[in-house]
Amino acid sequence: MAHLLSLLVVILVAIPSSRSHALPSSSSPFDAALATLQNQIAYRFHAPDLLRRAMTHASYSRENGRALAVLGLAASQSAAALRALAADHDASASAVSRRARDASGEAACVAAAARVGIPSIVRVAAGTKPTAPPVVCGALRALIGAVAVDANSTHAAEEVFWKLHVLTAASAKAAM
């Protein structure tokens, strides 16, 4: 009986876990791009399927990042509003609203997404432009939402949001 138990332990240890949380190492160009993206945002997904979903447009699959983008937009606006109020406790509602709108708006979104290569990562159906602002912004917002769900925290999503915006601001300054 002890021999059988030892054999069972050896077999179980030798079998690779099917519950691996890491992305496969470059099993496809898409997986390699997702791994690079995780490095760029300095966030490693515990559930990599969330990242895959975030980088999938609705034109490509029913399993896409549309719902994650709703959360990502809300987290982005919350991060910007919080930063505005932290900087000025007496800020007017319109100033806070403008700050949230500007930080999460299309121009900032497209710039941040381009900086980390989202237009070349997001999966879209033929006939859909991966560089179109709604596609790019949807994927970036879905990325922020995916981080929030993966970490079960909007704080983690806000950190990634600001990392992306700092990268964008730094690249804009360097281009001048």
pLDDT in tens, the chain (176 residues): 444 333 333 333 333 333 334 444 458 999 999 999 999 999 999 999 999 999 999 999 999 999 999 999 999 999 999 999 999 999 999 999 999 999 889 999 999 999 999 999 999 999 999 999 999 999 999 999 999 999 999 999 999 999 998 755 544 444 33
CA 61 to chain centre: 18
Q: Annotate 55-79 with DSSP letters as a single string.
A: TB-TTT-SS-SHHHHHHHHHHHHHH
* Residues 162, 128, 133, 115, CA torsion sign: positive
Q: Is residue 74 part of a domain?
A: yes
CB atoms within 10 A of CB 50: 20
C-alpha 176: how far from chain center: 28
Dig out the tokens for 99 from the structure: 């700050």
Q: Is residue 59 part of a domain?
A: yes
Report pTM.
0.80
Asked if 58 and 66 count as a contact pair (C-beta separation under 8 A), the reply is yes
Range of the domain at 74: 28-175
What CATH number did the domain enclosing 74 receive?
1.10.1520.10
How many independent structural domains does the chain possess? Answer: 1
Distance between CA 6 and CA 17 in Å, rounded?
Answer: 19
Is 14 domain-assigned?
A: no
